[in-house]
Amino acid sequence: MPSEITMPQLSDTMTEGTVVKWYKKEGEKVKSGEKVADVETDKAVMEMESFDSGTIAVILAPEGSKVPVGGSIAVVASAKEDPGEVKKRYASGAPKKAPATSAQIKAEIRDPLSIEAEPASLGDPHKKEPATASVATIAPPKAGGNGHGSNGGRIFASPLARRIAEENGLELASITGSGPGGRIIQRDVLGFKRGARSGAAISGSSPEGDSQRTKAAADLRSFAPKVASGEKTVTAMTKMRQTIANRLQQSMQTLPHFYETVDIDIESLVGLRERVNKSLEKSGVRLSVGDFVAKAVAMTLLKHPSLNSHYNGQTAEVTSYGDVNLGMAVALENGLIVPVLRNIDKMGLAEIRARSADLVDRARAQKLKQDEMTGATFTVSNLGTHGIRQFTAIINPPEVAILAVGAAEKRAVVRGDAIVARTIMSVTLSSDHRVVDGAAAADFLKTLRALLEEPGMMLV
């Protein structure tokens, strides 16, 4: 019996995929596990492998065509079958139901757009997705012009900048030029490259903070209007942008968010960090405030599993986890991605630093593997490096809470009867009131605050 190759679900939010490229033609032999096509999902271009060995009898979805998840894109004839026969059968419009692949099963049992329809078995963050895809090393998807529209789509970049961007696989459209007339120059590309490392949502005041400032300064220098007066640009949303739009709108409209903010005095944490970093100087490790926050959040979640949970509205079940998979919101030039640091509760600070830096790097380069973008049990969003004092974040369902971390800054605070300058960091917890109550959220924040104000408690 011939088997169908179907559009796999390569991400939680994927509803359809576009066949970008076929590596096999009709009549060509294919082995199980062999790469057959590239598929563009809402997040990235991924390689697709065949589950079965045989001969590609017919390609149902030519390059460029969109296919809903689970839909057939090709048919593989087994060794005993005549590919020509199979093709004829399919051409006559009588596709036979093929044995379902695991991807297909997955597609059938869930409505990917419905946030509540998160089956527990798949929501289990510790279970890896079936190996239906590996990340293709393909240039990042073409971003639809970023303010370059006023040049009639042309991007002005120095030849050197172009070369560096090309060598590093960076898209010029996502880089802001600081040269005359918005010309992208070497510094901008290198800054963008470095920014990939420094933009870590979790990284707090990482050593690359400097380049962030440099980039900000460069941005300030470029006063050239991105869209000329009297003109307008129309930009098609990228797939990633559309996903972000759908997900966040759904979350905000469906989940009853409530917010609680605490100011945390991190004076002693800052001192500890300095001492530790001095000792670590030779090893090249430099911990950020964000690393400490991540560690403290993980420890706090173990104490408050009701926030380390997934909510399934259909089954009216809350699944709480005994391990912490921390999502870290990472800003991209035209979007947002949340790589996941698995089992962060079992990591030391140095490991958190190294792993988060690696994840953020690859998030920027759009080279994350699928299982590195899924399965978070709680998310942290950090705009501290952007100088934001306090903000509220939108929950990433099926998670039930998200922590928004602001900048660590000196503030005048009252201690006793005196006004003193202390390093204060405001954090805001957004919780889903269907699952979490105000007192529970407050308890979480109380524990977190205790750990960050007396970091020695993290050793206890």
Q: Which are the catalytic amino acids?
A: 433
Our CB check for another protein shows the closer of 162 and 389 to be 162
Q: Segment near another protein (CB under 8 A), from 77-85, 152-160, 317-325, 405-413?
A: 152-160
Query: 384: closest CA among 288, 277, 272?
Result: 288
* Cα torsion 50, 56, 57, 63: sign: positive
User: How many Å from the N-terminal Cα to the C-terminal Cα in the chain?
Assistant: 61
Kindly write out the interface string for residues 165-184 of this chain, putting x where it contacts another protein by CB under 8 A and - elsewhere.
Answer: -------------xx-----
**Given candidates 7, 39, 135, 161, which one binds another protein under the rule CB under 8 A?**
161
Query: What DSSP string runs through 215-281?
Result: HHHHHHH--S-SS-TT-----PPPHHHHHHHHHHHHHHHHS-EEEEEEEEE-HHHHHHHHHHHHHHG
CA distances from 318 to 245, 327, 350 (A): 26, 19, 32
Kindly write out the interface string for residues 182-221 of this chain, putting x where it contacts another protein by CB under 8 A and - elsewhere.
Answer: ---xxx----------------------------------
Our CB check for another protein shows the closer of 31 and 163 to be 163
Closest distance to another protein from the beta carbon of 159 (Å) = 5
DSSP state of 311: E
Tell whether residue 156 is a contact of another protein (CB under 8 A): no
Closest distance to another protein from the beta carbon of 195 (Å) = 17
Our CB check for another protein shows the closer of 187 and 367 to be 187
Tell whether residue 127 is a contact of another protein (CB under 8 A): no
Residue 181 backbone phi and psi in degrees, to 5: 65, 20
Q: Segment near another protein (CB under 8 A), from 159-167, 364-372, 386-394, 441-449?
A: 159-167
Our CB check for another protein shows the closer of 178 and 374 to be 178
Our CB check for another protein shows the closer of 59 and 157 to be 157
Where helices occur in 21-73 by DSSP H, the ranges are none
Residue 334 backbone phi and psi in degrees, to 5: -130, 45
Tell whether residue 159 is a contact of another protein (CB under 8 A): yes
Closest distance to another protein from the beta carbon of 266 (Å) = 35
| 163 contact partners, CB below 8 Å, separation of at least 6 | none
Q: Segment near another protein (CB under 8 A), from 72-80, 92-100, 154-162, 265-273?
A: 154-162
Where helices occur in 97-185 by DSSP H, the ranges are 102-108, 120-123, 159-167
What does the binding site for another protein look like in residue numbers (CB under 8 A)? 158-163, 178-179, 185-187
